[in-house]
Chain A
């Protein structure tokens, strides 16, 4: 690699040969401290030696080249050779010269085997004499080097790039605001009767909210799990789904999260309608969505809510999984003290603090985790004393002495029996479970189960049974291969 000074010399020779004026570097002197000053000094010396070029500091942090001619320059090549991958230029040159320069660098970028090929992205703004060429970021090896001039140079460029980026972002914001400020124009050049049909379509767009778009996206994502020629794998879908569920949680769309989960359960449930690929993708997503890490994130999101009772009971229970004790153990082991508090409050939605579940859940924990959990529980109890929260008081049953396990005696399944409590919380789910929810299809555009001619009620009942079993943890995968007809 050619040292930067040599490059600069070569560049300057080239540039000075055809430039009538000087090259000036505008740097933000104060921003980077003594190192930056040293670098500036070195650059200045280099430039001065090359042809008494005056170097000035201003606060703009931009390189600008004054009026003059930039030859069909080796500049791009030289910088590329120096390892500079992207450099920001703000030259106020003759437009034609710049275009020539652009063509040169672009031509270089077209050759994949040369280092110049990396010098790829540039930006210009049209307009008389105001073309900007921007290149951002530097080759990583310069920055990762222990020190020396190359590193300083890299830092200089990064600094410049940072300044340039900020101003570009600002310019973009201004333009966007300008664009958005303009009134929409009328539909042109269509027969009048065509207008109304298109208006309907446009109304759909106008009425869109971020939530409704996200729902459409989720439906599309679920549908994508059923493609016939898969390109994406399980990890991809896990990533995509986690991303969308995180967005839903962040904006407090709990019912949307529940819908997503329901769709996922629908896909996980074995059926001749679903391919092995679909099942595999959906299962990968289900496992990952119920991972301790996600549950901790979920609990923190719930914790942020002013009114945690808005979080659907069914959703919490789904996240707690088939074996809540094991879930608690895994989560509590991973969580820090703050998260533990949130986690406890999340579990409390299903298990009141007096519930025998806690005795058993704490028993299996490591002593340290157990101590932290108990501290968190004390804190939660103290909180509730101060400010009683709205939570579900599930019936507490006495431990079954014969069984020896309080939790098993109570039976996780019994929560299903106590459906009345659930009804209040999630009427839409109950309507869904009863098969009376007319929105069933509308809510799930991705699940056009009527497409193949099966009767919707039969499919629905089958799906609901499976969903229930899955939620209860008793029938995971048990209906795989069941005949749909």
Chain B
């Protein structure tokens, strides 16, 4: 039986969510034990994330926001890495830099001694990461980028962040990216700020040029879009739509959506009335909630 394009959309969404969950399972145990293991595991995960991002970076971002309730380091790192892979893809970074960036995101909490984000100060995390990353027996270019990223990600562009130092250093470009991705995820995480994406983006825009590289904030807005995949939109007409795809071009974007029947039950596909529609920027809508 052939599936309609619409069913493919939904299947992709569910597949991506499953892939995200699997990557989470894989990453969960790496914060203990052999310092060489995390690098190895994260490289595999990073490659997978980049493969998905090349096709559909909107899916990864959607998954990150749909899993906002996950509080562990693995989930946090994976979310940051998902945003990072989107940023890198939009930036047109070289494959090598893309891989280094995503790995940096996956490992930026390495060395943290507790399993939950926020239980240690960013400064302590940065300092421990420095040690933990250096303990693995690699010293290639990528490795130095990861160490720099992990240590500097809280530092911010103007050097006023953490760790507080008498002689602050300039952030490496990967650290600039990581700061943006990390802060966005933290602002959206239920356990930290619990903002919705538009509030988070607004909050970050205020600090563009100080805490963040201003152009990276514009880029983030483009990567995230008006409503991430997996969110439910409510049109003025009262119609509810599930976002299944987001694409952006230089001055335009498109949301592919599925209209939902009265009940929003993602777990049972049968309850969805599969009506395909597209939303353009001029249509007014309100982001109702994330599934």
Q: Which residues of A contact B (CB under 8 A)?
A: 102, 106, 109, 120-124, 126, 172, 175-176, 179-182, 184-192, 194, 197-198, 201-202, 204-206, 208-210, 213-214, 216-217, 219-224, 226-232, 236, 239-240, 243, 247, 273-275, 278, 445-448, 451
Contacts of A210 in B (CB 8 A): 140-141, 144
Q: Return A318 CB to nearest CB of chain B, in Å.
A: 21
The 29 sampled A-B contact pairs (Cβ below 8 Å) are: A106-B25, A106-B28, A123-B44, A126-B48, A176-B99, A180-B96, A188-B92, A189-B219, A189-B222, A189-B223, A190-B215, A190-B250, A191-B250, A202-B91, A205-B174, A210-B144, A213-B145, A216-B169, A224-B127, A224-B165, A227-B165, A228-B166, A231-B124, A232-B127, A240-B134, A273-B166, A274-B166, A446-B169, A448-B167
B173 touches A228 (CB 8 A): no
Residues on B with beta carbons closer than 8 Å to the beta carbon of A231: 123-124, 127-128
Which residue of A has the minimal Cβ distance to B213? A201
Cross-chain contact A223 with B167 (CB below 8 angstroms)? yes
Partner of A187, one of B32, B91, B147: B91
Residues in B whose Cβ lies below 8 Å from that of A230: 127
Chain A, residue nearest B100 (CB): A205
A169 to chain B, nearest CB (A): 9
In the assembly, what is the distance between CA of A396 and CA of B277, in Å? 90
User: How far is B130's CA from A239's CA once the two chains are assembled, in angstroms?
Assistant: 11
Given contacts A227-B164, A243-B134, 19 further A-B pairs with CB under 8 A are A120-B32, A121-B33, A188-B249, A189-B90, A190-B222, A198-B215, A201-B213, A210-B140, A220-B152, A221-B130, A226-B167, A227-B127, A228-B166, A229-B124, A231-B127, A232-B131, A239-B131, A240-B134, A247-B139
Q: Which of A123, A190, A210, A222 has the most CB of B within 10 A?
A: A190
CB-nearest residue of chain B to A229: B123
- Interface contact B148-A217, CB-CB below 8 Å: yes
B285 to chain A, nearest CB (A): 20
The answer on a CB contact under 8 Å between A240 and B131 is: yes
5 tightest A-B CB contacts, nearest first: A120-B29, A226-B166, A189-B222, A231-B127, A189-B248
**Contact across chains for A214 and B164 when beta carbons are under 8 A apart:** no
Q: Are A175 and B47 in contact (CB under 8 A)?
A: yes
On whether the beta carbons of B124 and A124 are closer than 8 Å, the reply is no
Q: A109-B29, A186-B92, A231-B127 are in contact. Are A217 and B147 (CB under 8 A)?
A: yes
Query: Chain A: which residue is nearest B249 at the CB level?
Result: A189
CB distance from B33 to the nearest CB of A (A): 8
A275 to B165, CA, bound (A): 10
B 225-264 to A, binary, CB cutoff 8 A, 1 in contact else 0: 0000000000000000000000011110100000000000
> Which B residues are in CB contact (< 8 Å) with A198?
91, 215-216, 219
Chain A residue at minimal CB-CB distance from B247: A189
Q: How would residues 80 to 109 of chain B score, 1 for a CB under 8 Å from any chain A CB and 0 otherwise?
A: 000000000111111111010000000000
Cα-based distance from A202 to B96 in the complex (angstroms) = 13
Determine if B184 is an interface residue (Cβ-Cβ < 8 Å).
no
- Counting CB contacts under 8 A, is B73 at the interface? no
**Contact, CB under 8 Å: A205 / B173:** yes
By a CB distance below 8 angstroms, the chain A residues around B22 are 102, 124, 126
**Among A126, A187, A194, A222, which residue has its beta carbon within 8 angstroms of that of B92?**
A187
Most B CB atoms within 10 A — which of A205, A220, A240?
A220
| Option from B37, B123, B130, B165 in Cβ contact (under 8 Å) with A240 | B130
For residue A232, which residues in chain B have a CB less than 8 angstroms away from its CB? 127-128, 130-131
Closest to B170 in A: A445
Contact of A228 among B90, B94, B164, B216 (CB under 8 A): B164
| Residue numbers in A under 8 Å from B123 (CB-CB) | 227, 229, 231
Q: Does B163 contact A (CB under 8 A)?
A: yes
Say which residue of A126, A187, A191, A213 sits within 8 Å of B90 (CB atoms): A187
Task: Assess whether B163 is in contact with A185, with CB atoms less than 8 Å apart.
Answer: no
Chain B hits for A123, CB < 8 A: 26, 41, 44
**Minimum CB–CB distance for A384 against chain B, Å:** 35
Q: Which residues on B sit within 8 Å (CB–CB) of A223?
A: 165-169
Q: Is A126 touching B19 in the complex (CB atoms < 8 A)?
A: yes
| CB-based contact B166/A188 at 8 Å | no
Measured CA separation A214–B140 after assembly (Å): 9
Chain A residues lying within 8 Å of B165, measured Cβ to Cβ, are: 223-224, 226-228
Chain A residues whose CB sits within 8 angstroms of the CB of B128 once the complex forms? 231-232
Determine if B249 and A121 form an interchain contact, defined as CB atoms under 8 angstroms apart: no
Q: Determine the distance from Cα of A275 to Cα of B213 in the docked complex, in whole angstroms.
A: 31
Judged by a CB distance under 8 angstroms, whether B30 is at the interface is yes
Rounded to whole Å, the gap between the CB of A309 and the closest CB of chain B is 27
Q: Residue of A at shortest CB range from B27?
A: A121
Q: Whole-angstrom distance between the alpha carbons of A230 and B22 in the complex?
A: 36
Pick from B30, B99, B148, B250: contact of A220, CB below 8 A: B148
